[in-house]
């Protein structure tokens, strides 16, 4: 099964991605996590993308497409995968289509902006595992510590309020056109497109997505 999770920053793509990937035993391919890993490693790629990410802009299509092409060659992708945060522009989606990669389903998660801002402002992450918490909605067992390793949680540089607003603007201008792009693909019978209201509990949202995926 090959799935794309589409939606603005903070709608819960990463959170739902983990549930879906566990359920279907497929890898989560998060371009955001891959880029953050390269920043942490201090690689040339990391040096190139850090400032762009910190300001809430998008990394170039060229870099992202190369990154994804390499990732999906790995053995764990043979039975499928879930893209979380990719594609994010029309050229990225076209690059995917040009590779003859058959996507089964695009799931769009929708949440109002005020709720997104509160979700992102309260988010804390464990960088090395990508585990995500929320200070109120999903707090760690011990304040500011990852449940499994006890290591400190951090606030992402791009989760400051001004940067969140910038990311939402970038989403509206550069990523939202993909809604129409993939709805058209559904009309052509190429894939299934499902839009879900993300303003519900973690579990209820997952249940709704699961009912849809199990019918595919």
Which chain residues interact with ligand AP5 by CB under 6 A? 7, 9-15, 31-32, 35, 52-53, 56-59, 64, 85-86, 88, 92, 119-120, 122-123, 132-134, 137-138, 158, 167, 201-202, 205
Based on the residue annotation, tell me whether 13 is a catalytic residue of this protein. Answer: yes
The residue from 2, 36, 88, 131 that is catalytic is: 88
Based on the residue annotation, tell me whether 88 is a catalytic residue of this protein. Answer: yes
The residue from 2, 36, 119, 123 that is catalytic is: 123
Half-sphere exposure of 213 (CA within 13 A, CB side): 23
Q: Contact, 186 vs 193, CB < 8 A?
A: yes
Which residue lies nearer to ligand AP5 by CB, 84 or 213? 84
Q: What is the CA radius of gyration of the chain?
A: 17
DSSP state of 127: T
Based on the residue annotation, tell me whether 156 is a catalytic residue of this protein. Answer: yes
Dig out the tokens for 211 from the structure: 């009912």
The residue from 119, 131, 167, 185 that is catalytic is: 167
In the complex, the smallest distance separating the C-beta of residue 54 from ligand AP5, rounded to whole angstroms, is 8
Which residue lies nearer to ligand AP5 by CB, 138 or 186? 138
CB nearest ligand AP5: which residue?
Answer: 32
Based on the residue annotation, tell me whether 123 is a catalytic residue of this protein. Answer: yes
Which residue lies nearer to ligand AP5 by CB, 187 or 204? 204
Beta strand 105-110 with 192-197 is parallel
Q: Is the backbone peptide bond immediately before 33 cis, with ω within 30 degrees of 0?
A: no
In the complex, the smallest distance separating the C-beta of residue 11 from ligand AP5, rounded to whole angstroms, is 5
In the complex, the smallest distance separating the C-beta of residue 79 from ligand AP5, rounded to whole angstroms, is 23
Which residue lies nearer to ligand AP5 by CB, 173 or 187? 173
Which residue lies nearer to ligand AP5 by CB, 19 or 188? 19
Q: Contact, 121 vs 164, CB < 8 A?
A: yes
- Burial level of 82, CB count in 10 A (0-12/13-18/19+)? buried
Overall residue count recorded for the chain in this entry: 216
Based on the residue annotation, tell me whether 2 is a catalytic residue of this protein. Answer: no
Q: How far apart are alpha carbons 90 and 182 in whole angstroms?
A: 10
Find the distance separating the first CA and the last CA of the chain, reported in whole Å: 10
Q: Which residues are catalytic?
A: 13, 88, 123, 156, 167
């Amino acid at each position: 099964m090959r799935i794309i999770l589409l939606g603005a920053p903070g709608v819960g793509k990463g959170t739902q991605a983990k549930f879906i990937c566990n359920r279907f035993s497929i890898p989560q391919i998060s371009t955001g996590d891959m880029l953050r890993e390269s920043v942490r490693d201090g690689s040339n790629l990391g040096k190139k993308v850090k400032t762009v990410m910190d300001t809430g802009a998008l990394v170039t299509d060229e870099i992202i497409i190369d990154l994804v092409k390499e990732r999906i060659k790995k053995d764990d992708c043979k039975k499928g995968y879930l893209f979380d945060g990719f594609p994010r522009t029309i050229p990225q989606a076209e690059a995917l289509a040009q590779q003859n990669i058959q996507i089964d389903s695009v799931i769009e998660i929708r949440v109002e902006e005020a709720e997104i801002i509160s979700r992102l402002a309260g988010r804390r992450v464990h960088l090395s595992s990508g585990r995500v918490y929320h200070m109120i909605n999903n707090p760690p067992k011990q304040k500011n510590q990852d449940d499994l390793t006890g290591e400190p949680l951090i606030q992402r540089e791009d989760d400051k309020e001004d940067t969140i607003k910038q990311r939402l603007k970038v989403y509206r201008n550069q990523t939202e056109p993909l809604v129409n792009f993939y709805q058209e693909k559904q009309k052509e019978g190429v894939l299934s497109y499902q839009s879900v209201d993300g303003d519900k509990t973690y579990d209820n949202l997952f249940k709704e997505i699961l009912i849809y995926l199990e019918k595919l």
